Structure 1
Amino acid sequence: MSQATLLPLPPVESRKHISTAIPAWFPPFLREAVNGLTQNGGKINFAFSRGEQQVMRRRRPIPVSQWAEKYRMVEMSAIPGRWHNLFTPYLVGIMDTMAHPGVETAIVCKSPQTGGSEAGHNFVGYCIDRSPGPVMYVYPDELTARENAKDRIIPMIQASPRLREYMTGYGDDASSLRINLMHMPIYLGWSGSVSRLGNKPIRVLILDELDKYKDPKNEATSEALAEMRVTTWRRRGRSHVMKVSTPTTPEGAIWRAFTEEAQGRLDYWVRCPHCGMYQLMQFERITWPGKDTDAEPDAEAVLAQRLATYPCEHCGTVWDDNDRDRAVRGGEWRERDSGLDLPSYLASARPTKVGFHIPAWISFFVSLSDVARQALKYTQTGNTDELKKLQNQYKALPWVVEHAARSEDAILTLCDDRPRGKVPGFVDGKPRVSMLLSSVDTQQSHFRYVIRAFGFGDQEESWLVQSGVAETLSAIDEIMWGTRYLDVDGREYMVRACMMDAMGGRTAEIYRYAVRHRGRVYPWQGVQSMTQPYTPTPQEYYPGQKGEKLRIPGGINLWRCDTTFFKDDLSGKLSINPNDPGAFHLHSNEKRELEEYAREMCAEAYDDQKHAWVNQHQRANHYWDCEVMCKALAYILNVRNTRPPVAEKKRKTVDAVRGGAQGISGMIGNYRS
């Protein structure tokens, strides 16, 4: 209890001066008490009431995420008790952004079981304690609104000693449609009800499961009606709107808000616990034994045995769920276009609307094997509903009905009459092939490879020589370096260089192979978007488990390549008529050798929304990846600027002269005889 003490008053002779200085607003009993003080030091003791203390106290500012850890209690959860950011570290940036000055709207496009709704509850709890104002939750229907009030919102307030102080104690003030606190109301509304969404000034608006809303007849959308409630607070710069939902279709409200409304879209980059490098986790990199082969395990077995893993794209270390969780705890939010981390982006761009994307595989509550099981359920059943579930609830992406940009028949029209393994020969005595390049897609149990002949000049005409499967690196040795490939006239060609995928969970093995074939093998790492088509990244150590390091003799370069750039280039090549310059040729298909190749070349399509190539139906795409790597290798080796060798032309001229001279000598000899 605070106390204050008045110093003893001056002697009685000066008491008159003091009495006239007593404020006029002093109550009579207090005025008499002050006038009656003696010279020996009478004291006036007083204390602030509890309400006065709360009003006059100036508390230190605290971020929403820290407030939640200090005061939030969780009831309905797999981990009940005090809130811990440790389990959902990606929510820290979202919660703190909602209270950031100038930010009016936070848009969270998420997978289920990632904690997005709890972030909204934490922010409301923070506002109750630190920044009071009318709050409204909006749910898809009345039943959901009442259930959330009863099961989540009211228990959240009652369970926290800090928030419980603000309850009035009256039973009617804790109803399922309106919660009256001592200093602010909390309203519950639902979509389709104009009366529940209107006629209230609201400061904090939580739109939960936005894509499930129903719109009222002859009115604006439920989303628009609800947002109108914050108009008066927005004019004062003190409104807060949070939109949370799992996406459904590209026309759904949350995806439109995320792609069209948000001024900045952020992804969560995790940090490898072994090498410390940041990376954006991709669904395609989640792997399991037998992936993309005929030996794939049952979907339920993958989950039961926790078989799915994730290889770090930098060091190649294979993560289990524990490593994934550690990587997420060390992660950070980054804006897609600028690449800035969240604090830097907020400080420089000063956005009013910010979007966050949360896929399932960064959630503590979702195992990597959960994601793998869902992918297998589609591939093993062919049910498009399973694919839709994978897209919406695991990838947090909208479901799009894809129309294939290419067909297998169109790919097979690129075949010529060469048999498999044959290099195209000379035309009119002139060579067509500058060099043979190859690429290898690394899998856990085997390798896919492509060998392609590239022509001279900037047209980059090319011919498929051979494609197939190799089980071991010794088999790759024989195919790449131990075989001489012949053209139709018997001329010999050898593979000049090979681009090899080093990110298939066998990074150390590929690095050792590249060291043995230094100058001929280029370790590859595909990156979705870069500022330049490729960049060599020096590697000094082999990837090791638990921080173990083994130096690479002489070091080696990992070639990081922009997959979007080279896939765009390859797609353009596939559209060229085989009779036109710069065409992309295949060998003959007499024994139906290219059926699988053609299928895999059609696996990916360009997504205009994501501005990236995606494998919408999760089909095998190994030969597509091989051809992309071949394109990158040709770019790195500057095949476009190669020209037919001058020495070859001179040699042919000399041979022709010699042949002519021999012919004349023969004629003279015959004449003499």
Structure 2
Amino acid sequence: MAAMLAPPPVQTLSEWADENRVLSSESSAEQGKWRTSRTEYLRGIMDALADPAVQVVSVMKPAQVGWTEVINNAVGYYIDRDPSSILTIQPTVKMAENWSKKRLTPMLRDTPALRGKIKDAKSRDSDNTILEKGFPGGYLAIVGANTPNDLASRPVRIVLADEVDKYPPSAGDFGDPILLALSRQNTFWNRKTLIGSTPGHGQSSTVLAWYKQGDQRKYHVPCPHCDTEQVMRWERIVWDKDETGHKPETARYLCDECGCLWTDAERMRAVEQGQWIATAPFNGIASFHITIGLSPWVSMEQIVRKFLAAKDFAPRLRQWVNEVKGDPWEERGEASSAEELAARAEAYDDQSLPEGVRFITAGVDTQDDRLEYSLIGWGDGEEAWVIRHEVLLGDPGKLAVWSELDAALKDTTCVTEDGRSLRVRAACVDSGGHYGSMVLSFARARASRKIYATKGIGNDHRGSKPIWGKAMLRTKNAGDRLWAVGVDTAKDGLQARLRIVPGEERTPKAVHFPMAGLSADYFEQLTSEMVVTELTREGRLQRKWKMKPGQKRNEALDCFILAEAAMLSLPTRLMRTSYTGMPVAEPETADEPQNDPTPPVPVVKQKRNRQRWGGYS
């Protein structure tokens, strides 16, 4: 009788998972019995959640480290060992439904300790729905962070918040979704909260803020050669490079102490022997930072390849820092100064372009009293050569200045050192300002020459916009086509480009400048903007590009971005990644399409506009 009435023996979350958890085939690449030793760094995180002294566990981590299984194990543990009211929060309701159907349901089906504890969803009196699971002694509610009523509708003891850096800053008018959920725990003395996410921007990262509030634990691993304990860092991953380029397959980890190089096998043995060490005082919040190199599913070669593919393009580099390195994104320093760029000028002009130039595009900016355009040559790896920047004075509301632009785009012929003659293959014309209808008319009459009317769009909380996408913006005239250009993404990319100093050989993404053909203030205009982070009216921290103090003109910057968009509109792709990770060009073919690759817009009969393009139509 005493044995029957005695409470079950104390069991940590990791011990429960090792004894009971089964990974399902449709939700895991390694189905079968769960083994915490496979991801030893997760043991301390799971056991902290079951530690009576810990109220909040926060985890800042990269992708592909087994984080979702930590949440699954926590749900299973509390259903089986410590029945409670549980609230699981996903960024959106749709993501909550996906987690319930693709992660939770297979776990409940395949883990014997959980099988049968939640009623059959087909039974008539069942309280088992996609977002609500009842079990003896408690329930599981699955909600989206964008639904304030679900967050504040019930008391809960356990809160599991996933990917918190993707949450909206406010759940409707009720404030921070996490704090709203935590207020539901106030009546429970034994409440527990798990907060985790891949970090986003450093200034607005929720998981970073929670990490700093805790004891900031870091995972220390011993060197396989000298036993020195150290935190794995990206800077210690090294690889070979020769005249043919980078060799990611040679990637090794360099010990801080003895300088020995670890293979992937040695790295994983070191991770198995690692331990979490706090670097700040404990105040009830156990915070963890899973760093690069701990995951058994990502090799050092893969880490290096992803870096090489992302390093020259700011949006991709930010994604790499967040998802591979596991760090919040911090803005890098300014691009090279105008003086440094001017000092890099090279001895070429439009009649002696380097052999690397394969084709030319143009970007046209519209002002109230003039048009400005840049001609840019492009080569393999999207290496760029600025050819010239011109100002056409005149009223854009009249035909004369547009005729001058038309002649410049049609008749300009540049010559390369190997004797090839190049003309403008495509051009993008900005339709912003007061002369949008003139831009649309000019582009409409020259669609066969790949001259596009464009409008710049910035990034927002939904993500980055592509420099050149398939989506077209609406216009009043059904026959017009207005293309969106992701200007913030392009400016991020140009800032990274300008940091690259061209070498004697091919330098992907580098920008070259001629000694002649540019105005005295061209480089000031090209570097005229900077990134700032502002608080929007909705309470979001948003990155924006703004003019630097004292700067008044940015036409050179706008024209370069428009020329880049024109380059991306062409079917020829200059960036390809080979086995070595180096960008190579797609070869040009004789049958390369010369017309706009997008489907044609049906011809719509309409009245002629009196201010038509006459002979230019």
What TM-score, normalized by structure 2, do the two folds share? 0.51
Cα distance, 1:388 vs structure 2: 0.7
Could you tell me how far 1:288 is from its partner in structure 2?
Answer: 1.2
Partner of 2:16: 67
Look up the equivalent residue of 1:145 and give its one-letter code.
A
Which residue of 2 is the match for residue 213 of structure 1?
167
Residue 203 of structure 2 is aligned with which of 244, 247, 251?
A: 251
Q: Counterparts of 1:224 and 1:363 in 2: how far apart (Å)?
A: 31
Q: SS of the counterpart of 1:361?
A: coil
For the residues of structure 2 that align with 1:90 and 1:223, how far apart are their CA atoms? 25
Q: Which amino acid aligns with 2:253?
A: Y
Q: Following TM superposition, by how much is the alpha carbon of 1:397 offset from its aligned partner in structure 2, in angstroms?
A: 1.3
Kept in 1: contact 2:213–2:285 (CA 8 A): yes
Residue 322 (structure 2) pairs with residue 392 (structure 1): yes
Q: Does 1:103 align with 2:54?
A: yes
Q: Displacement, 1:317? A: 2.5
Alignment-mate amino acid for residue 329 of structure 2: W
Q: Which runs of 4+ in 1 moved over 4 A?
A: 404-410
CA distance in 2, matches of 1:117, 1:253: 19
2:286 partner SS:
strand
Structure 1 portions without partners, runs of 5+: 5-47, 338-348, 411-673
CA distance in 1, matches of 2:73, 2:121: 24
Q: How far, CA to CA, are the matches of 1:207 and 1:294 in structure 2?
A: 48
Show the 5 A alignment for 1:258-337.
Answer: 258-262=210-214, 264-290=215-241, 295-297=244-246, 302=248, 306-337=249-280
Describe the SS at the equivalent of 2:150: coil
The answer to whether the 8 A contact 1:124-1:204 is kept is: no
Greater helix share, structure number: 1
> What SS does structure 1 have at the residue aligned with 2:308?
helix
What SS does the aligned partner of 1:232 have?
coil
Identity of aligned residues (%): 30
User: Are 1:193 and 2:193 an aligned pair?
Assistant: no
Q: TM-score if structure 1 supplies the norm length?
A: 0.47
- Residues 1:179 and 2:133 are matched in the alignment: yes
What does residue 58 of structure 1 align with?
7
Counterpart for residue 355 of structure 1: 287
Deviations 1:101-122 (A, max 9, x none): 1211111000011112211221
User: Secondary structure in 1 aligned to 2:89?
Assistant: strand
- Cα separation, 2, equivalents of 1:260 and 1:277: 26
- Which segment is superposed worse, 59-68 or 170-179? 170-179
Distance 2:211 2:87 in 1: 25
Between 1 and 2, higher relative CO (CA 8 Å, sep ≥ 6) is seen in: 2
Equivalent position of 2:45 in the other structure: 94
Give, in whole Å, the separation in 1 of the partners of 2:155 and 2:309: 48
Distance 1:390 1:169 in 2: 42
Q: Which residue of 1 aligns with 2:545?
A: none
Contact 2:232 2:292 in 1 (8 A): no
Letter of the 1:372 counterpart: V
- How far apart are residue 294 of structure 1 and its match? 5.6
Mapped partners of 2:187, 2:224: distance in 1: 47
Q: Which deviates more from structure 2 when the two are superposed, residues 394-403 or residues 317-326?
A: 394-403
CA distance 1:102–1:408, change in 2 (3 Å): farther
Distance 1:259 1:161 in 2: 35
Question: For residues 254 and 308 of structure 1, what CA distance do their matches in structure 2 show?
Answer: 33
Mapping for residues 427-576 of structure 1, pairs under 5 Å:
none
- How far the C-alpha of 1:59 sits from its partner, in A, is 1.6
Which has the larger Rg?
1
Q: How does 1:637-648 map to 2 (within 5 A)?
A: none
The aligned residue for residue 595 of structure 2 is: none
Secondary structure in 2 matching 1:186: strand
Q: What is the total number of aligned residue pairs between the two structures?
A: 337
Could you tell me how far apart the structure 1 residues matched to 2:235 and 2:292 are?
A: 13
- Structure 1 residues 111 and 256: alpha-carbon distance in aligned structure 2, compared to 1, 3 A threshold: closer
> In 1, distance between residues paired with 2:55 and 2:335?
40
Within-5 A mapping of 1:583-662: none
1:364 matched to 2:319? The reply is no
Residue 225 (structure 1) aligned to one of 180, 187, 191: 180
* AA partner of residue 175 (structure 2): A
Which residue, out of 149, 154, 163, partners 2:105?
Answer: 154
Are 2:234 and 2:292, in contact at CA under 8 Å, matched by a contact in 1?
no
Q: Which moved more, 1:113-122 or 1:247-256?
A: 247-256
SS in 1 for 2:113: helix
| Aligned alpha-carbon RMSD (Å) | 2.7
CA contact 2:230–2:256 (8 Å) conserved in 1: yes
